[in-house]
Structure 1
Amino acid sequence: MPAPTASTLAAISARRARLAERIAAAGGGVAIVPTAPERPRNRDTEYAYRFDSYFHYLTGFTEPQSLLVMIIPAGAASAARSVLFCREKNEEREIWDGFRYGPAAAREVFGFDEAFAIDVLGSKLPELIGNQPALWYALGYDAGHDARIFDALNGVRAQGRAGVTAPADIRDVRTLLDEMRLIKDAVEIERMRAAAVISGRAHERAMRTTRPGSFEYEIEAELLHEFRRSGSQSVAYNSIVAGGANACVLHYVSNDTQLKDGDLLLIDAGCELDGYASDITRTFPVNGRFTGPQKDIYELVLASQYAALEHARPGQPYNATHDAAVKVLAQGMIDLGLLEGSLDGALESGSYRRFYMHRTGHWLGLDVHDAGEYKLKGEWRPLEAGMVITIEPGCYVRPGEGVPEAFWNIGVRIEDDVLITPAGHDILTIATPKTVSEIEALMPGR
């Protein structure tokens, strides 16, 4: 990942300042945010490394074996200090593993007040947390880091006769960071907009290259090719490339079935760019032309998404988009003969869940299912400008008693990434073909 730009570093510094303000107002203390550990894949190889999202949000630093400590006096956020622990500079290891900053360069480039080698964390940490009123740390998030924290606390307690006290209160720093991460700053929005453009191009590429006889994994390869050639570092999640009946499996990831003439292909895939996720789902006919029943289900799902989008604006309860989509879907299921009875009856009984069993979206950001509470004091929280959500209604028709055979094995989901703005919303993935006419124009019948 390239070194952060000046604007990115300024935004990250501002995030640390906002966190310091919140902790200072809560009585001060020391916050500890480690990055993710490296994970073994097999024997002596590891999975491709991906930093912890909370750590990256506050540092922009992408190297493993790193940890951030912030010391914040009560009521004095401006006096807060940020301390990074990271790997020591080691030219020999760089021959094997690639560039590493080392503490001195990391402090200068990323704007920390101090930086030390991770090897001295055990001796320095008791010094940093001693005589602090509270420890802000995500206890239970990682057993290895928990052990280091408990060792440091015991080290402080051992100095009790010297007048050094351990923090009397341990609080979850994520409660503060989750609320901060819900509202994206300008740098985050720019990254997410760029990720959405790349992912949209990948979906277009998939539409152009899909044909009967292709395998799902071939189409997945087209997605991955476009992600990487456009500069993204990774997928944001395992891609779903589901043809025919596989589209009725919500988290299908085998991607190994041959695509048949007359089937639909559901693709749920997005790239990650500089840590930020995109998340797009499109469904289209393998042969480039929707059949009548396929079009009926597709148009129903699209109409439900449009209804949901009408509620994607500040002040609306988060769940309003879901409720709007469900009403359209349930009525459409009745009209198509998938359900019997009235709309009110379908909504009250939940009978629609036979064909639509998931929520209509989620937060999006550094994580594809991003941080943040959906309810406050038991009520759905209102949407605010700067939040990014997905809107992804669907309809999945499995064979079954009473289900018209014409709709069997049709699975449709349509998903877009939506930024809430002061005036309403901005669909970050708007350029990705979505209507029947747009898709069929892109996919001439073969």
Structure 2
Amino acid sequence: MTFDPRPFASRRKRLAEQLRKAGGGVAIIPTSPERLRNRDSEYLYRHDSYFYYLSGFTEPEAVLVLIANEDEDTRSILFCREKNEEREIWEGFRWGPEGAAEQFGLDEAFTIDTLAEQLSVLLGNQPALWYSLGHDASHDSQVMAALNAVRSGARNGVSAPADIRDVRVLLDEMRLFKDASEIALMRRAAEISAAGHLRAMRALRPGMYEYEIEAELLHEFRRQGAEAPAYSAIVAGGANACVLHYSANNGLLRDGDLLMIDAGCEYRSYAGDISRTFPVNGRFEGAARDLYALVLSSQKAAIAECVPGKAFSDPHDVVVRILSQGLIDLGLLKGSLDEVIETSAFRRFYMHRTSHWLGLDVHDCGEYKTGGAWRELQPGMVLTIEPGCYIRPADDIPEAFWNIGIRIEDDVHVTPTRPDVLTSAAPKCIKDVEAAMAGH
């Protein structure tokens, strides 16, 4: 797979411009540490999203330093593991500083064991340190030690940064707006995720277990080149679908129940995120059909709201009105539409919001409000649209509705003209779902 360093260089340039506008300084962005799963076995490694966004570098034990001042050119410096033939025999290929600088388009690169010494030099006479304190204690201590080393040299005419600012504030806003290369990767993540859901629909039969369907999803994700799931899959049949973040995935799938799946893959570090709900026996019937049609109609209306100028909250508000009226019509809620919304009575059956940002993280960074108001949607943003309805048994609920959990979720790219549904290949209309499950 060919690596293109240009998008990453462009992002570093944009960040440097913002640093200059804010007075300049040194930005330090470390990657994630490796973490033990148990004893001496580590979790599958996944780099830090902020670090990757600027570097494209996926190895552990790495730090990116960006220097941007008015009186000097931008310098991008990577600190990474050294080339080591013995360790590469055990653990796999390492770029090493020289190879990394060339491959990833960085100005300089050094071994990670020189970071402490060099930081105390790089921070000298800089107006500000741009770093996110509190995200990793080991990095915090190293950065603060370097800062204190500079302060102790003040008598030699070297000044320490007067300000410490959170670089993620700038990066959050940058990452909220996806560039063309990111949209292409997210489109592919969405396609693979949709293929996994379609495979699950075709494989499902009464008498299977949830984990068997999870295996179908994971098989398809990996078969099509995804590195891993973007998050732990939710595969929830019957009453389990009324648990919003169900994770056991070990229940028996029974004829007459619905199966709700919330799953997506990670492709080249970008997340797909899809929810689909379908009948275990392949046919929507009775109360389940009525509720599914209601949730689907609310989702379609919400997607239509994903255009520039609309507020982030507008899709949610549309969902609440449609679901509330539908639940009144079905006899599950009492009172007028305005009363149900004003008292939040609908939250008994729909207790989460409709959207979140999507990108390198499945719950991606970026503020939802600015100045106390919901921010406007703008081209380049990507968000999920995921209304749901969850009905637990209760004395005032007709038994036909008991243990029905439904969520329908798509990934939507905001464009200048219309919503771009990245995940449209995953069937969701009743006739399309039933046809997919029948093998048509």
Secondary structure, counterpart of 1:228 in structure 2 = helix
> Hey, what does 1:212 align to over in structure 2?
206
1:369 equivalenced with 2:352 (yes/no): no
Counterpart residue type for residue 61 of structure 2 = Q
Which of 11, 20, 24 is matched with 2:7 structurally? 11
Q: CA–CA distance in 2 between the matches of 1:154 and 1:401?
A: 65
| Number of equivalent positions | 439
Look up the SS of the partner of 1:189 in the other structure. Answer: helix
Determine if the alignment matches structure 1 residue 65 to structure 2 residue 58. no
Q: Secondary structure at the match of 1:411?
A: strand
Output the CA distance in 2 between the equivalents of 1:212 and 1:219. Answer: 11
Give 5+ residue unaligned stretches, structure 1: none
2:40 maps to a residue whose letter is D
In structure 2, the residue matched to 1:28 is 24
State how far apart, in whole Å, the 2-side matches of 1:111 and 1:204 are.
Answer: 39
Report the CA distance between 1:166 and its aligned residue.
Answer: 1.1
Quote the residue 2:44 is aligned against.
Answer: 48
Deviations for 1:175-197, whole angstroms, at most 9, x for unmatched residues? 00000000000100000000000
What is the CA–CA distance in structure 2 between the aligned matches of 1:438 and 1:408, rounded to whole Å? 25
| Aligned equivalents of 2:173, 2:228: Cα separation in 1 | 26
Aligned match of 2:381: 387
Q: TM-score, normalised to structure 1's length?
A: 0.97
Task: Report the secondary structure of 2:77's partner residue.
Answer: strand
Structure 1: 4+ residue segments shifted above 4 A = none
Is 1:38 the counterpart of 2:28? The answer is no
Partner of 1:326: 320
**CA distance in structure 2 between the partners assigned to 1:402 and 1:334 by the alignment:** 13
SS of the equivalent of 2:323 reads: helix
Per the alignment, in what secondary structure is the counterpart of residue 81 of structure 1? strand
Instruction: Give, as a single letter, the amino acid of the residue that structure 1 aligns with 2:147.
Output: L
How far apart, CA to CA, are the structure 1 residues paired with 2:76 and 2:55? 10
Q: 1:108 aligns with which of 94, 102, 107?
A: 102
Q: Which residue of 2 aligns with 1:255?
A: 249
Give 5+ residue unaligned stretches, structure 2: none
Q: What is the aligned counterpart of 2:437 among 415, 421, 443?
A: 443
Q: SS in structure 2 opposite 1:266?
A: strand
- Following the alignment from structure 2 to structure 1, what is the Cα–Cα distance between the partners of residues 260 and 433? 13
Distance in 1 (alpha carbons) for counterparts of 2:2 and 2:152: 41
Shift of 1:431: 1.2
Cα distance between partner residues in 2 of 1:279 and 1:59: 24
The CA distance in 2 between the partners of 1:397 and 1:44, in whole Å, is: 44
1:90-128, Cα deviation, whole Å (9 max, x unpaired): 011000000000000000110111100001111111101
Q: Deviations over 1:256-307 (max 9, x none)?
A: 0110110000000000001000000000000101121100000000010011
* Cα distance between partner residues in 1 of 2:52 and 2:409: 27
Q: Counterparts of 1:419 and 1:3 in 2: how far apart (Å)?
A: 25
Please give the residue correspondences for 1:338-417 in structure 2 after superposition, counting only pairs within 5 Å: 338-417=332-411
Q: Which letter does structure 1 place at the counterpart of 2:284? A: F
Partner of 1:231: 225
Distance 2:355 2:47 in 1: 25
CA distance in 2 between counterparts of 1:89 and 1:249 reads 48
SS at 1:333's partner residue? helix
What is the aligned counterpart of 1:124 among 100, 109, 118? 118
Q: For the residues of structure 1 that align with 2:339 and 2:398, how far apart are their CA atoms?
A: 20
Cα offset, 1:424, TM superposition: 2.0
Deviation at 1:45, TM superposition (A): 1.1
CA contact (8 A) 2:324 2:341 kept: yes
Query: Could you state the TM-score of these two structures normalised by the residue count of structure 2?
Result: 0.99
The SS at the match of 2:438 is: coil
Report the counterpart of residue 87 of structure 1 in structure 2: 81
Q: Which amino acid aligns with 2:63?
A: L
2:142 aligned with 1:166, yes or no? no
Matched to 1:13, the amino acid is: A
Q: Between the two proteins, what is the percent identity of the paired residues?
A: 63
Farther off after superposition, 373-382 or 400-409: 400-409
* Higher mean C-alpha deviation, range 399-408 or range 368-377: 399-408
Q: Distance in 2 between matches of 1:441 and 1:108?
A: 51
**Whole-Å separation in 1 of the counterparts to 2:2 and 2:34:** 21
Shift of 1:130: 1.1
Superimposed CA distance per residue, residues 21-49 of structure 1 (whole angstroms, 9 cap, x where no aligned partner):
00000000000000000001111110000
Aligned to 2:306: 312
Counterpart of 1:69 in 2: which secondary structure?
A: strand
* Cα deviation digits, residues 321-363 of structure 1 (max 9, x gap): 0000110000000000110010000000000000000000100
Letter in 2 for 1:302: L
Deviation at 1:3, TM superposition (A): 5.4
Partner of 2:135: 141
Supply the RMSD in Å over aligned alpha carbons.
0.9
Q: What is the rounded CA distance, in whole Å, between the counterparts of 2:395 and 2:75 in structure 1?
A: 65
Matched to 1:59, the amino acid is: S
* Partners of 1:32 and 1:120 in 2: CA distance: 15
- Paired residues of 2:304 and 2:419 also in contact (CA < 8 A): no
Q: Please say if residues 312 and 374 of structure 2, whose CA atoms lie closer than 8 Å, have aligned partners that are also in contact.
A: yes
TM-superposed CA distance for 1:444, in Å, is: 2.3
The match for 2:146 among 152, 158, 173 is: 152
Using the TM superposition, name which of 270-279 and 308-317 deviates more.
Answer: 308-317
The separation in 2 between residues aligned to 1:47 and 1:85, in whole angstroms, is 23
- Matched position secondary structure for 1:85: strand
Secondary structure, aligned partner of 1:79: strand
What are the Cα deviations for residues 411-445 of structure 1, in whole angstroms up to 9, with x where unaligned? 00000000000102100001110010001111129
